[in-house]
Amino acid sequence: MLFLILLGPYMWGQDPYAQDLSRALTAPSLTHWLGTDQYGRDVLARVLLGGRLTIGTSVIIVTLAALGGTICGMLAGYKGGFWDWLVVRIGNLFLSLPTLVLAIALAALLGGGLDKVAYIFIILYSPKYARLARSLTKELKAAPFIHIAKLEGKGTWHILWHYIGPNINHAIITTAALDLGVVLMELAGLSFLGLGAMPPTPEWGSMLSAGRSVMQMAPWLVLGPGVGIVLTVGSVHIACEQWRRKL
């Protein structure tokens, strides 16, 4: 999948934005392997470019949420006090609400757009990593090697970066890998509802939304992005399971 979305647009060569109304809703052929859409645009070219946007945005969301949440969680678990109380309360608040429903409400309130949706998901997913990192840090901070580091005069950030971080990164990475597939589906879902990527930007969710009205006469419009979502999410979960077994 990574090979397809990174190199596919260059290898295929078709312009995903080029319109030709005389070729609108053309069935799959040797010229257009996945046919064309209502505006005569090549569906395969749009699927390949849309995958880059969908998967790339999902990776950015999960990476920033994991980094921000992990840093806050480690600091809360190590220092305790008011910061620990604040992280726990904020985490409880966000985790008590359904993520997708809250994301839909916030995206509708802010007017939609892929950038706004990405910010919303980063904020909503960060508390999950903060609570996980906090819990793991509280278990580790009583370990003998942490006491030795303190006696050697190591500072808080040095201990978090060099001692605690390397010991909890496997759990964080595994959780992030699992979340990647979930975020990808939720991101495509918001675009399907018209709250994510806006036309004519090719994005798998918005392509599904655009093709549903003519799905009976032109099923290839939803076949490409639908298969892309299924294969990507399935690949992510299979890779994550292999990663967990090796750990």
Q: For residues 239 and 85, what is the distance between their CA atoms, to the nearest angstrom?
A: 36
Q: 30-80 pLDDT, tens per residue? A: 888 899 998 999 999 999 998 888 999 999 999 999 999 999 999 999 988
Is the pLDDT at 132 greater than 80? The verdict is yes
pLDDT score for 130: 93
What is the pLDDT at residue 69? 93
Residues β-bridged to residue 36? 42
Say if CB 77 and CB 86 are below 8 A apart. Answer: no
pLDDT of residue 247: 66
Interior/surface letters 16-55, b for 16+ CB within 10 angstroms, e for the rest: beeeeeebeebeeeeebbbbbbebbbbbbbbbbbbbbbbb
What local confidence, expressed as pLDDT, does residue 96 receive? 82
Confidence band, pLDDT 50/70/90 cuts, at residue 20: confident
The 10s digit of each residue's pLDDT in 136-145 is 999 898 889 8
- Report the pLDDT value the prediction gives residue 87, as an integer from 0 to 100: 86
